[in-house]
Amino acid sequence: MKRAAVIGLGDISSIHMMCIQNNPDITLAAVCDTDEKRREQAPEGVPFYTDYCDMISNENPDVVHVCLPHNLHVPVSISAAEMGTHVLCEKPVALNAIEGKAFADFEESHPDIHIGICLQNRFNESVKVLKAIIDSGKYGKVCGAKGIVPWARSRDYYDSKPWRGKWNTAGGGCMINQSVHTLDLLYYLGGPVAGVKASVSQLLNYGIEVEDTVSANLFYKNGSHGLFMATNANYKNESIQISIQLEQAEFAIIENVLYQMRPDGDRERLAEDAKLAGTKFYYGASHGILIDKFYESIEKDDQEYLHVKDALMSICLIDSIQKSGRIGTYVELE
Ligand SMILES: NC(=O)c1ccc[n+]([C@@H]2O[C@H](COP(=O)([O-])OP(=O)(O)OC[C@H]3O[C@@H](n4cnc5c(N)ncnc54)[C@H](O)[C@@H]3O)[C@@H](O)[C@H]2O)c1
């Protein structure tokens, strides 16, 4: 039985606690939030702390789940790992690429500590099937990709948690917070990216610091192109769409279903994502799968989980898109 602890009892923590409680091999040993008012969110009998270092010293968890504002991901993860616990950290992997690279160096120099990052959409059934099709080479190479995220966030979303609208605490807006999953998949499925040209803007009128709308052209190393468009300024949350054009076939994920698109306009249903009851549909359904796999990797002492180094490209892409948006020209990925 592994002992879990959750740091940060905000919106996403309920999914982590639910997935922990759904897994018979994990027990929720303690929870922590600096906000004393969150004490009531601790499930009955689970100790509540306001200091995560005290919690780790007293409760000795095997794993801490870091569910904190973005600026705290790397410092808290590293400090917990230095105290000897494995770490499962929410996305994004870091506030920016420089911090992400330092985190990946830390991971490399601490091979006995497992540090996992919650980019759970990689475990969606639709993505797993599409990745296998691409890797099989059956339909040739990737020659185009598209990722669209037409989402909505209210003024209250930012007002109620002011860290979300600020550069120093969020590291950006709709890219780092919402569409990081889609950018990660455009890289994971589409292949290595050489550079980007982007437009980064604000359409909402909320007085936040960070971007709410982005369009970018991803220039893949193999010469193909990827279109990425993301916004929080839609009037409602609509399905993410991801399309991958291979040399001899086209595939699309729409409303969590993977289709093969036929030249005559028909489409064949190939796979569908599981649903996770009690969560927002746009989180995707794979937190549970990612969390179960992470604990399994600790139990089996293997490397089968989503590492810091796997998540690094998503933050490098975001930094390059932000830079291209600022200077208005093509930016090569470092
Ligand atoms: N993977 C996903 O699909 C997904 C979805 C939503 C949010 N997230 C991520 O989850 C993280 C948290 O987002 P949220 O919306 O739940 O935020 P939130 O603001 O609702 O919750 C953060 C909590 O952390 C607490 N906190 C702040 N500093 C602390 C500290 N030093 N020690 C202990 N607690 C502290 C706050 O009091 C707050 O309760 C973010 O990284 C976000 O990007 C991921």
The rounded Å distance from CA 90 to ligand 1 centre is 8
Give whole-number Cα distances, 20 to 23, 34, 178, 185, 206, in Å: 5, 21, 23, 25, 36
pLDDT digits (tens, 9 = 90+) for 4-46: 999 999 999 999 999 999 999 999 999 999 999 999 999 999 9
Which protein residue has the closest C-alpha to ligand 1 atom 17? 10
Residue 11 CA, closest ligand 1 atom number: 16
pLDDT digits (tens, 9 = 90+) for 154-177: 999 999 999 999 999 999 999 999
Residue 120 CA, closest ligand 1 atom number: 1
Amino acid identity for residue 138 in this structure? K
Write the DSSP assignment of 90-121 as a string of letters. ESPS-SSHHHHHHHHHHHHH-TTS-EEEE-GG
pLDDT of amino acid 282: 63
The rounded Å distance from CA 40 to ligand 1 centre is 16
What is the value of pTM for the model shown?
Answer: 0.97
Helix (H), strand (E) at residue 217: strand 213-220
pLDDT digits (tens, 9 = 90+) for 216-265: 999 999 999 999 999 999 999 999 999 999 999 999 999 999 999 999 99
- The best mutation among 67, 79, 183 to test binding of ligand 1, ranked by most ligand atoms within 8 Å of the C-beta, falls on 67
- The best mutation among 9, 12, 240, 289 to test binding of ligand 1, ranked by most ligand atoms within 8 Å of the C-beta, falls on 12
The rounded Å distance from CA 72 to ligand 1 centre is 9
Which protein residue has the closest C-alpha to ligand 1 atom 26? 8
Decide: 188 and 176 in contact? Cβ < 8 Å. Answer: no
pLDDT higher than threshold 70 for residue 73: yes
Which protein residue has the closest C-alpha to ligand 1 atom 25? 8
pLDDT of amino acid 64: 98
Give whole-number Cα distances, 163 to 71, 169, 171, 209, 250, in Å: 9, 5, 10, 10, 40
pLDDT digits (tens, 9 = 90+) for 261-280: 999 999 999 999 988 776 66
Which protein residue has the closest C-alpha to ligand 1 atom 43? 177
Decide: 64 and 29 in contact? Cβ < 8 Å. Answer: no
Cα separation of 1 and 187, whole Å?
36
pLDDT higher than threshold 90 for residue 285: no
Residue 287 CA, closest ligand 1 atom number: 1
The rounded Å distance from CA 121 to ligand 1 centre is 18
Binding pocket residue ranges, ligand 1, CB within 6 Å: 7-12, 32-35, 38, 52, 67-70, 72, 90-91, 118, 120, 161, 177, 283
pLDDT digits (tens, 9 = 90+) for 172-216: 999 999 999 999 999 999 999 999 999 999 999 999 999 999 999
Longest dimension (CA), the chain: 63
Cα separation of 81 and 101, whole Å?
17
